[in-house]
Amino acid sequence: MRELAAAGIGAPAIAEQLERTEASIRKQASAQRISLRTAGERRGMILGELPHGRLPDELREAVFLGSSDPVAASERSRRRAELCPACGIRDVSTRAGFCDTCYLRRLAAAHREEIATEAGRRELDAARALKYRARRATR
């Protein structure tokens, strides 16, 4: 499939040659990160194929105006994409998409919230018990 894709004949032709469905070819190509673009197709490409996708608008403008090198813009975009969205300082290092520090802080906040919820439940249970005892005492 990789050789056929490199020839630039497209997914329908590859599916026909390999006697598979086009959907199975597309799925397998996606899993193996193989491009199925036909020869000369530019859809999804910005100044050549960048390894990590679309550039942010301000970097695209700088590249098109000639004030920035496409490779340098691509590298800046990749680095920006790897920064923690919470702090924007450290690199992302967890599957949750945050740096270790921000991830642990969010986890601690979630635990504190859970503790507060449990304390509220205990307080409610105690108030209900008092109400029940007061009702039993008046009978």
Query: Where are the domains positioned within the chain?
Result: 1-43
What are the tens digits of pLDDT across the range 105-139?
Answer: 988 999 999 999 999 999 999 999 999 999 998 87
Q: Residue 54 burial by CB count (10 A; 0-12/13-18/19+): exposed, middle or buried?
A: exposed
**C-alpha span between 55 and 50 (Å, rounded):** 9
Cα-Cα-Cα-Cα torsion 85, 87, 91, 95, nearest 10 degrees, comes to -50
More confident of the two residues 96 and 133: 133
**Residue-level pLDDT at 123:** 97
Q: Measuring CA to CA, which residue among 23, 6, 5 is closest to residue 14?
A: 5
Report percent pLDDT > 70 for the chain: 71
